[in-house]
Every structure is written in structure tokens, then in C-alpha cells.
Amino acid sequence: MISRAVLVTGSSRGLGAAIAQRFAGSGDRVAVHHRDSQKEAESVLSDLPGDGHILIKGDLSDPHAVREMVDLAARQLNGLDVLVNNAGAYGGRDRPHPVFGLDYAGWRDAWRETFEVNLFGAANATWAAAQHMRERGGRIINVSSRGAFRGEPEQPAYGASKAAMNAMGQSLAIALAPYGITVAGVAPGFIETDMVREHLEGPAGDAIRAQSPFGRIARPEEVAAAVHWLASAEAEWASGAILDLNGASYLRT
């Protein structure tokens, strides 16, 4: 088994941590990335099976920090084979931003802050990673959202940023294919993580689970398995695809 060098952004908790665990469990060397969650990231790192894993820090809203972070990961892992653009912001500073819920300055801040991470951060990380993959190929997986397709009325910048991420990924799937680099995405619905626990345990919990005919939401490990497959050698022909992972809670045509 060949050990690959894998960078998972936003992997100090939740889905990112599950993705890091999945790659490490298959023998890969993983860079666990965080912005300001040192303690949580160290805990994820210590729980990864195997060895050769590293911890890196970087603010995805800072283009210079993004390139330094990707280059550092490549140096310490002796190359870069897989980039998972998982880190994301669910609205400006993770707060709702409905059109009638903010003043004009707050509205503009929400859009800027969301796109800086979800689109520009992912785009910059992709550019930096592609420089290391150009000679030997690689895999880039974008973590999008069903919100890119169904709309997010309370977090419109989030939905728009994920739709833009999808378009970016499909454009780059074409552009990078001649270099042996595939680009694909996953579009989950609700995932059972700490970020949504308060919603699941509150009065809206039953309604959230009822969105899927399975009567539940996704487990992080289920989404991580799909990401891992899209990064495999067998999934080259899935380049450009965006895999819906929402338990039939939203079906697009």
C-alpha cells in the first residue's frame, strides 16, 4: 500500500476530523489543519492511527497564510497527493444573515467573510496544492452543501459560496485533467457534529431529522467514506462530479 500525503482543511473537529481519521486509517499521512483550535487539533492528531501525521495552522481568509500553509504541509509530508477543501464558514462569523435581519454594513460583512473562507480560501488552497501535484497528479475534493442547490434563505451567502465552489471545481476538473489531477465534490445535508448538536437537541430536532425519509441525519463517517472514495485511484472517472449526500432529503434533477 502506498502512503499518500493528504491535507484536510478545517480538520480539528466534526466532519474534517472524520475525514482525517478515514485517510489515516487507510495508511495515508495526514496534515490536520486548524485556524485557532490548537487544543482540538492536537487531540485529533493524537487519535490518528499510523504515523507521519502533522499539525498545521492557517487562516483561510488570508491568501498569504493559505499558500504558506499548503507549502508547509507539502514540505513536511514530502509532497502532496490529496487536498480536501473542508473548512467553511456558515455565514458571516457563523451567524444568520437574512436580507431583512441586518443593516447594510452587516450584510456586506456577512458576504465578504463567508466568501473569503468558502470560496477564495478553497480556491487559493487549490492553486497552491496544484503546484505540488502538477508533475505526479493528485486528488482535490471540495466539501460543498445541498444548500448550493436548494437555497439557504437564512444564510444566503453560504449557499451562494457553495454553489460557486461547485462551479470552480467543475471548471478545474477540466483544466487539471491533463495533469492527472481530478477535482470532485460532495454536497452533504445535515451532519451529526458538535456544530449542529444544539439544533438536534432543541425543538427543531425532530423536523431536521424528518427532512430525510430515513428519519435521521448523516454520520460524519458516512461523508468521510465518500470523500475517501473520490480521492481513490478508482474514482478518476468521477472527476467533475458532485455527490449528493443528504439521505434523499433534497433531490435535484
- Cβ-count burial 84-96 (b if 16+ within 10 Å, e if not): bbbbbbbbbeeeb
Contact 175, 183 (CB under 8 A): no
pLDDT in tens, 4-14: 999 999 999 99
- Cβ-count burial 101-123 (b if 16+ within 10 Å, e if not): ebeeeebebbbebbbbbbbbbbb
What pTM was estimated for this model as a whole?
Answer: 0.96
Sheet with 5-8: strands ordered across: 54-57, 29-34, 5-8, 82-85, 138-143, 181-188, 242-245
CA 128 centroid distance within chain: 16
What domains, with CATH codes, occur in the chain?
5-192+219-245 (3.40.50.720)
d(C-alpha 107, C-alpha 98), whole Å: 8
pLDDT in tens, 46-94: 999 999 999 999 999 999 999 999 999 999 999 999 999 999 998 655 5
d(C-alpha 33, C-alpha 242), whole Å: 23
Among all residues, which ones are annotated catalytic? 158
Grid cell digits, residue 128 = 497552491
pLDDT in tens, 161-204: 999 999 999 999 999 999 999 999 999 999 998 878 877 888 88
Nearest to 155 by CA among 219, 110, 103: 110
Residues 6+ apart with CB under 8 A from 230: 139, 141, 182, 184, 186, 238, 241, 243
Average pLDDT, the chain: 95
Please give the helix or strand (H or E) that residue 40 lies within, else none. Answer: helix 38-47
Residues 6+ apart with CB under 8 A from 130: 138, 140, 176, 179, 181
pLDDT at 28: 98
Amino acid at the residue 230 = L
pLDDT in tens, 210-227: 999 999 999 999 999 999
- Asked whether residue 40 carries a pLDDT value surpassing 80, the answer given is yes
Beta strands in the chain (DSSP E): 5-8, 29-34, 54-57, 82-85, 138-143, 181-188, 242-245
d(C-alpha 220, C-alpha 162), whole Å: 19
Report strand pairing: 138-143 vs 181-188: parallel
